[in-house]
Structure 1
Amino acid sequence: MIPSIDPKPPGKRLIKRMSTRTKWMILAPCGLLIFSFGLTVLSEAAHQRRTGVPTQVWVVLGLYSLALINGGLIMFGEALRFRILLDVRRETRRSMRQLARKISIKAAGKHKPGKKAKSPTKTD
Structure 2
Amino acid sequence: MNHFKIKDMIVKEKKAPGEKLIKKMSLRTKWLLTTALSFVILGLGLSFFVFSWNRLQIGFDKATWGFMIFLSLAVFYLGLIFYGNSIMYATEIKSRKIWKQKQKDLKKKRFVNKGTDKLNIQKSPQN
TM tier, shorter chain? 0.7 to 0.9
The TM-score with structure 1 as length reference comes to 0.85
Q: Which residue of 2 aligns with 1:42?
A: 49
Match of 1:120 in 2: 124
**For 2:101 and 2:80, how far apart are their aligned partners in 1?**
31
CA, structure 1 residues 41+122, in 2 after alignment: closer, same or farther (shift >3 Å)? same
Aligned length: 119
Cα 1:15–1:111, aligned 2, differ >3 Å: closer, same or farther?
A: same
Q: Are residues 1:22 and 2:41 paired?
A: no
Runs (4+) of structure 1 exceeding 3 A deviation are none
Q: Does 1:69 align with 2:73?
A: no
The 1-side partners of 2:69 and 2:29 are apart by 32
Counterpart selection for 1:54 from 57, 61, 77: 61
In structure 2, the partner of 1:33 is 40
| 5+ long unaligned stretches in structure 2 | 1-10
- Unaligned 5+ segments in structure 1 are none
Report the CA distance between 1:45 and its aligned residue: 0.6
Cα distance 1:118–1:83, how it changes in 2: closer, same or farther (>3 A)?
closer
RMSD of aligned Cα (Å): 2.1
Please give the per-residue CA displacement for 1:60-109, whole angstroms capped at 9, x wherever unaligned: 22121111101100001000000000000000110110011011001011
Aligned to 1:84: 91
How much has 1:59 moved relative to structure 2? Answer: 1.9
- Give 1:44 shift: 1.0
Cα distance, 1:118 vs structure 2: 5.9
By how many angstroms is 1:5 displaced?
A: 6.4
Once the two structures are TM-superposed, the CA of residue 37 in structure 1 deviates from its matched residue by: 1.3
Taking a change above 3 Å as real, the CA distance of residues 63 and 118 of structure 1, as seen in their structure-2 partners, is closer
Identical aligned residues as a percent: 23
